[in-house]
Homo-oligomer: A and B are copies of this chain.
Amino acid sequence: MLLDEIDKKLLEYLQADSKKTTKELSNKLNLSVTAVYERVKKLEREAVINNYVALLNKEKIDKNFVVFCHVKLVQHTQDYVIKFEKEVANLNEVLECYHISGDYDYLLKVLVKDMAAYREFMVKKLTTINHIGSTQSMFVINEVKHTTTINF
């Protein structure tokens, strides 16, 4: 799907605040309510917009310990890879998992309450997955920037 400048503006606004009404958007864009409505519907239909979500404040719900964890597998046969990916995706504490280039195979973003919970996660969940060779944890000292907004 080809996006014109109005679509891009629209996506910019909706990425910042998806609760904006079509009326507000129509004012900002100098369009009618229906025109905006139909553009948004099209962006949803064409899956340019994946979904609408509420973002929570980690501190307020006592999950304020973020760790990036490198994982290396002992073997890289397809079965092991598929099994590992499936099992990791099922862990609630793992918000993100990437297969990456470099010294390690995977990079995981893990969110837990505190160091004790992370230890628990490592011992009882992550390292019980078979065929993990080694792991290396990098603890987040400070979150300098964190946005879900993609700029054009």
A residues whose Cβ falls under 8 Å from a Cβ of B: 1, 3, 11, 14-19, 46-58, 60-61, 63, 66, 68, 85, 88-89, 92-102, 104, 106-107, 111, 136, 138-152
Contact = CB atoms under 8 A, between A and B. Distances in A.
A119 to B, nearest CB: 15
B18 A68 contact: no
Number of copies: 2
B56 A55 contact: no
A150 B63 contact: yes
Given A46-B60, A53-B55, A138-B107, A145 B15 contact: no
Given A48-B56, A50-B56, A99 B145 contact: no
